[in-house]
Structure 1
């Protein structure tokens, strides 16, 4: 590989993939600062405006199971380009929408299409690289991806200073055009025709069934989803936690998000630095343990008079996020390596599990536990504890299988030619 080609694959490609993966979460919270203006223009209250988020998330989850398997059948680039193209049209539709029902239609279309970029982009690094290099690049993507929840509201606020709320959706459309250009001219097709599955409904859905029936996928997938779900408790319940529990103002959300996201980015950086030096299994174990310790620390602090005071109230969730940053990129690679012919289906199904869990958390759990710091902390500890148990269960079965294989090898030696 020439120096120029090496720079393209180690710098440009990860940057493009990170932007593609950001578009999903970035589209969720960028409109938040515009809610008051949107409410006045569309003559609706805050409760109705919450549908702008709910409809987007529901549509994203619904379509998330199909983007990956489609990319296994037709290639990565067509799904990413097609998805982002529809996203651009949907964003322009949001610009011209003159009523809430019409705006919700285009937000649903945004959600249905954004996964083409967010989900499929995660498979490309493993298509291109393996071993420590794949882990380093996956961690770089995770670092940039982690910026999306923090950058979105800030950028939305800046755009509101320059024009009306429609400018936010116009910016999303322009970002989509930039991403299409980047995929066309900077990103190679990483899933060649000879490795693709037939483009038939049975074959595409069969990939999901093939992945979903394997216990290894569920043990690793649920470990990831549950531990990140503990962190999502604070994301989904930020309005309750920051304003009601901590008594902060409506402009003080950064006091939660900056330490939490900064910790996750630090963990992703440490994951990249550990590539080739620490085994994947040990690295994930360290990350899971760090998150579990964060859950325990969160409960201990919440049970004291410091539980609703800054900065002590966010120490636990910051440690949970740190552990997530360490383990998440490696978890992704382990899942992709387990199903090399069905990488798109793996990412789609794992994303769907996480989205469903996060939706249940936001709708059913946060309203119940959101009245106190201790409620948040206990629920988070249950999440990281369940995730830790899933990972420990997987490691125990893996050790048992290795022991059985070694025993069989000793009793039935293979004859060398």
Structure 2
């Protein structure tokens, strides 16, 4: 049992660990022009720092949960934060893009430990509506990161240059490491730990990847999130070129999105145990669909007016955040004995798709606001199709009804 103080502090700490990911993605975006000039590189080479990060993040997300199932929850988080701290300071003192590539890979390999293992910690400690409320708290606090990351990055860049962004990341990671050592308990008992033999690993990953219900939730969530995240990855072009905003004005995208995510997470936690999960899913997707239709109209009729985009970012992320805890927990509940590994593969699926977005889709569609809106709409539509296909498979008796809403 956790003490009352630890019980209150734990979701906030897990949210702080989860915030490292978005900070690492978008904090240095306002500095792209300065980095391009100082390092003598072009936009594609800078975009590759995102792609490398996502590929490393996706690869290692397969292992964070498995390592936590074998060695406990605390040790992998402690090692991950230590590596991330060193990599962040390494970038701050790098003089070439090739060296930055190496440290970005190390950031990607280590940044996911907190968010992956944090999901498993929540399921170790909480059950039922309490788990949904705890996860909603994590999402609500974590939602601040996309807004304040580029704002803080822009301010740091204006005052101290682009390297200060990575010094800030290293300092933040070091502080989180201290808090983990002081606050985070070990939530996985020794007798519950899994073997890491090759045969056991192959069997575990096969069990998780071939679980149709689990993978349906994971892929649907990745697509749904991609409907917003394509704008995050395209922010330097979308905001600086299409909307003619400055390096310190990224708040026009991330501010409304953060407000929407925080409100959606609050509502999800508040409604946990009061509304059935199918209702939360339906309402969340209706909200996102309405926002997507509005965005298509705006990007067609008034593509250069940034004021018109603000309701879209707010409303879409509200609906997304409303259903995020439900989809995540339903996925984990498909594999109750493999929650660490399942959490890893959830994040691997999402981050792997983010890597595809960063390397291929975003550069292909960021040439015009309408193309961005159409890509976001396509991803939401595919996510909804996936969930309804899962429901149809369940109702037709082709798969078990466990952990599937109707």
* TM, length-normalised to structure 1: 0.88
Give me the whole-angstrom Cα distance separating, in 1, the residues matched to 2:147 and 2:281. 25
Which has the greater radius of gyration?
Answer: 1
- In the alignment, what sits opposite 1:51? 48
Closer, same or farther: CA 26–296 of 1 in aligned 2, 3 Å: same
Give me the whole-angstrom Cα distance separating, in 1, the residues matched to 2:235 and 2:228. 11
- The 5 A counterparts of 1:195-214 are 195-214=192-211
Q: Secondary structure at the match of 1:57?
A: helix
Question: Considering only aligned residues, what root-mean-square deviation do their CA atoms show, in Å?
Answer: 2.5
Give me the whole-angstrom Cα distance separating, in 2, the residues matched to 1:39 and 1:56. 18
- In the alignment, what sits opposite 1:252? 249
- In the alignment, what sits opposite 1:104? 101
- In the alignment, what sits opposite 1:371? 367
Using CA pairs under 8 Å that are at least 6 residues apart, name the structure with larger relative contact order, 1 or 2. Answer: 2
Selected match of 2:302 from 293, 299, 306? 306
Q: Does 1:239 align with 2:244?
A: no
Give me the whole-angstrom Cα distance separating, in 2, the residues matched to 1:404 and 1:178. 45
- In the alignment, what sits opposite 1:76? 73
Q: Secondary structure at the match of 2:114?
A: helix
Closer, same or farther: CA 378–93 of 1 in aligned 2, 3 Å: closer
Selected match of 1:90 from 87, 93, 101? 87
- In the alignment, what sits opposite 2:323? 327
Give me the whole-angstrom Cα distance separating, in 2, the residues matched to 1:180 and 1:14. 15
Give me the whole-angstrom Cα distance separating, in 2, the residues matched to 1:290 and 1:48. 37
- Structure 1 gap segments, 5+ residues each: 406-417
Selected match of 2:121 from 113, 121, 124? 124
Contact 1:69-1:205 within 8 A present in 2 as well: no
Contact 1:21-1:122 within 8 A present in 2 as well: no
Which range moves more in the overlay, 23-32 or 330-339? Answer: 23-32
Which range moves more in the overlay, 38-47 or 118-127? Answer: 38-47
- In the alignment, what sits opposite 2:61? 64
Give me the whole-angstrom Cα distance separating, in 1, the residues matched to 2:158 and 2:357. 34
Give me the whole-angstrom Cα distance separating, in 2, the residues matched to 1:37 and 1:402. 55
Deviation at 1:315, TM superposition (A): 3.2
Cα-to-partner distance string for 1:127-173 (whole Å, 9 max, x where unaligned): 10011111111111001111212222222233345645443333322
Give me the whole-angstrom Cα distance separating, in 2, the residues matched to 1:354 and 1:211. 15
- Structure 2 gap segments, 5+ residues each: 402-406
Deviation at 1:125, TM superposition (A): 0.9
Q: Does 1:393 align with 2:392?
A: no
- In the alignment, what sits opposite 1:290? 287
Give me the whole-angstrom Cα distance separating, in 1, the residues matched to 2:327 and 2:369. 29
- In the alignment, what sits opposite 2:353? 357
Deviation at 1:306, TM superposition (A): 3.4
How many residues were matched structurally? 401
Deviation at 1:28, TM superposition (A): 1.9
Contact 2:150-2:251 within 8 A present in 1 as well: no
